[in-house]
Amino acid sequence: MKILLVEDEPLILLDAEMGLQQANHTVISVCTADRAIGILRVQSVDLVLTDIDMPGTMDGLELASAVRDGWPPVKIVIMSGKRRPTEAELPPQARFMPKPFSQAQLLQAVGVW
């Protein structure tokens, strides 16, 4: 699976990226939603895994909504260690994963699709 990982915390980004790659996923990592949109415009991905709170012009929930609107087949997993979004905040068919998470939890969240 080709995964776009959007996370602004370097250690979390590196840990998630390594775990996903070890599970034979292709990972594109960026640190802002703005960069993620740029990637989506030129590359196809199967899943976007995004943090909620990030710097830039949009947060992870706004990114997830943009993905749902612009790239409907792309699967979405939203993660956060600071808050849990309400059902109304989540785009249709997006999943939530709380942080911190283990590699097993990460792979389970990605593997649900």
Nearest 5°: CA angle at 77, between 60 and 31?
A: 45
Strands (E), the chain: 2-6, 26-30, 47-51, 75-80, 94-98
Encode the chain (113 residues) as per-residue pLDDT tens digits: 999 999 999 999 999 999 999 999 999 999 999 999 999 999 999 999 999 999 889 999 999 999 999 999 999 999 999 889 988 889 988 999 999 999 999 999 998 75
pLDDT value of residue 113: 59
Neighbours of 83 (CB within 10 A): 10
**Domain limits, the chain:** 2-111
Q: Which amino acid is at 54?
A: M
- The structure tokens listed for 35 are 């960069």
CA distance 94 to 88: 11
pLDDT value of residue 66: 97
Q: Which fold has domain 2-111?
A: Rossmann fold (3.40.50)
pLDDT value of residue 111: 87
